[in-house]
């Protein structure tokens, strides 16, 4: 008789996977996690994915794997689509074949930012760049190939692990006297720890309200606001200048407004979500313990 839930985690060495590894160290739940990265499991190879899921009776697969280089994707469209669309299609097919529930992480970049109120799960995606397009195509493959899934769109994800805006600002703030950050892109910073908490709640409580969900921290910020809060909380003195996006052109266009409506996930999980600044304070405290 099966004693505990078994959970496969793809992209286990990335930001979200690393955050999940830390979270399960303090959980009292009996869950068997198997963390993989691209060396262990190549999601772009359907045969490999099928073989891997056939080896073990996984209840859930948390897909943290993905091509996440937003600007580079503009010149590397084939690779972005190969991982974020084709790879996700393979996972969806394999999970469906082996009755495994897929928890797939997506992004606010599936939207064009032209709305003036928080995006609902029912709003029609319209990505501005290749990265957002590849993630949206991945979502479509999940919906097309299986029926027991959670697609969780999140925004401005950061933690003490991996590469992210939070860590970049800590580095640059300590190295430079002056920095310029855009103030006309609005969204919500999201702590990977809070996202992991929601994912674990889905698994522990065996939530079966499958579908698409939005998750970010509460509150509103521009990248400039986010940077200023990082400096304030971490005691960094730097001359921070607000600039418009047109003054800092990037290969990929970003949505100017990407607030996500979290009403659905809060109702289904019966939970409250912390304000982004409170979570930023927590992640800042955690930085001291990361080598």
Tokens for 121, please give them: 């799960």
Tokens for 85, please give them: 């669309």
At 269, is the secondary structure helix, strand, or coil?
helix
Domain 5-164+189-218+259-276 belongs to what topology?
Answer: Rossmann fold (3.40.50)
pTM for the structure as a whole: 0.94
**Model confidence over 57-104: pLDDT tens digits?**
899 999 999 988 998 999 999 999 999 999 999 999 999 999 999 999
Is there a catalytic annotation at residue 213? no
Domain ranges in the chain are 5-164+189-218+259-276
Tell me how far apart the alpha carbons of residues 183 and 243 are, in angstroms, rounded to a whole number.
Answer: 6
One of 52, 60, 119, 131 is an active-site residue; which one? Answer: 131
**Model confidence over 92-127: pLDDT tens digits?**
999 999 999 999 999 999 999 999 999 999 999 999
Tell me how far apart the alpha carbons of residues 43 and 37 are, in angstroms, rounded to a whole number.
Answer: 9
**Residue 86 carries which DSSP code?**
I
Tell me how far apart the alpha carbons of residues 161 and 24 are, in angstroms, rounded to a whole number.
Answer: 16
State how far the alpha carbon of 208 is from the alpha carbons of 56, 204, 277, in Å: 22, 11, 31
Report whether 224 contacts 156 (CB < 8 A).
no
Average pLDDT, 10 consecutive residues per value, the chain (291 residues) = 80 93 80 91 92 93 92 92 95 96 97 96 96 97 97 97 94 94 96 97 95 98 97 96 92 94 97 97 82 47
Report whether 131 contacts 70 (CB < 8 A).
yes
């Amino acid at each position: 008789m099966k004693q505990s839930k078994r959970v496969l985690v793809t992209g286990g060495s990335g930001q979200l996977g690393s955050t999940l590894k830390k979270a399960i160290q303090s959980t009292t739940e009996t869950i068997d996690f198997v963390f993989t990265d691209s060396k262990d499991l190549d999601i772009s190879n359907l045969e490999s994915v099928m073989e891997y899921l056939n080896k073990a009776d996984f209840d859930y697969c948390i897909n943290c794997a993905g091509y996440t280089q937003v600007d580079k994707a503009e010149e590397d469209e084939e690779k972005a689509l190969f991982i974020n669309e084709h790879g996700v299609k393979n996972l969806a097919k394999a999970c469906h074949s082996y009755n495994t529930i897929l928890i797939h992480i997506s992004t606010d970049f599936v939207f064009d930012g032209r709305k003036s109120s928080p995006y609902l799960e029912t709003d029609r995606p319209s990505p501005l760049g290749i990265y957002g397009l590849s993630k949206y195509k991945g979502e479509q493959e999940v919906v097309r190939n299986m029926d027991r899934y959670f697609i969780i769109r999140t925004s401005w994800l950061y933690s003490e692990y991996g590469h992210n805006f939070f860590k970049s600002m800590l580095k640059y703030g300590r190295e430079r006297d002056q920095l310029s950050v855009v103030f006309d892109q609005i969204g919500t910073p999201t702590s990977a720890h809070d996202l992991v908490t929601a994912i674990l709640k889905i698994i522990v409580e065996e939530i079966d309200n499958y579908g698409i969900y939005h998750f970010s921290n509460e509150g509103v910020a521009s990248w400039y606001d986010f940077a200023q809060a990082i400096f304030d909380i971490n005691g960094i003195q730097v001359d921070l200048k607000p600039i418009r996006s047109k003054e800092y052109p990037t290969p990929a266009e970003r949505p100017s407004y990407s607030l996500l409506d979290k009403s659905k996930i809060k109702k289904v999980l019966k939970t409250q979500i912390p304000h982004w600044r409170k979570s930023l304070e927590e992640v800042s405290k955690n930085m001291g313990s990361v080598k």
